[in-house]
Structure 1
Amino acid sequence: MDTAVLVSPDRLWSASEVLRRPNPVPPVSGVYGWHFDASPFSGLAAAQLLYVGIAPRHMATRTSSQNLRKRVRYHFRGNAAGSTLRLTLGCLLGLELRRVGSGKRMTFGKAGEAVLSHWMAEHARVCWVEHPEPWTAESELIARLDVPLNLDQNRHNAFHPRLKELRARARRRARELPVTS
């Protein structure tokens, strides 16, 4: 896969564009890349590709029902329990991770998720490329690109240990706190 379409895309899309109707993101399989005009953490450069993702995920027994449109929209307006990108960004921004509901899911709570959504609306931009089997390209992309916000398959990245510890610390702290609604 040509990495230039993600690293130097012709167009980047904002939250307001992706969340409106008609929606510009196609409901198909593909790869998406996240760019930020402000760094979520000191030591990370802004105005570059920091994270790549795929939709759908390919699992041993099936393929998920996700597509580019669903995943990109979810990253912009979902919560940390369903988006590793949101979990990472919230941890980097210093938001408090909490156990919610039954206590098994972790999010930044309504207020924290709103802060994160606002930050992403201001600073995150996304691009995508259609791909019939994106799971076949994911490993190669992560190996070839400097995407410090990806953890899976990205141990070679210099930021990996720091990000992994930051997320682990947030999860440990969340387990110490009471469950919120």
Structure 2
Amino acid sequence: MGDDAAPTHDWSGAAPVRWTTTAPPERVWSVIEDGWTYAAWVVGASRVRSVDESWPAEGAHLHHSVGVWPIVRDDRTSVVEIDPAQMRIVLQARVRPFGTQLVEIEVSSQPGGTMVTMREDASGGLAVLVPRPVRQAGLIIRNREALRRLCLLAERETHVEEV
């Protein structure tokens, strides 16, 4: 299996983190589809260096940096699966040497707005050595903040368009 092969992953132990927003689902999805927004909402990402023209097609890469200067690590995130009709994407985020993470994001309509659900878990490298309950505890906090930021971006764009 290569770095970008679609890994089989057991999501059963990955705690779902949910956030609701008044922004319409299409607006939230458009923020996710725009790879250049990644560093604005993904906790730990410090900058986006480049985004493949085919992003967010399966196999496309987003080249990012993680950390705070002067301790910054360049790596990439790849699209493993995408279903635009269902507003669902699975990403493989690499932060070597620590490992790789699989991240599933789903956007769904609900009365009065949108529900965004994120699941994340280690899929390779040193991170898998950390017991799942311990790593999930940290990911829940991190992903709650990531979804808050994502939804704020979507809400901001919604309000800008309404003016």
When normalised by structure 2's length, the TM-score is 0.30
Structure 1 or 2: more strand by fraction: 2
When normalised by structure 1's length, the TM-score is 0.28
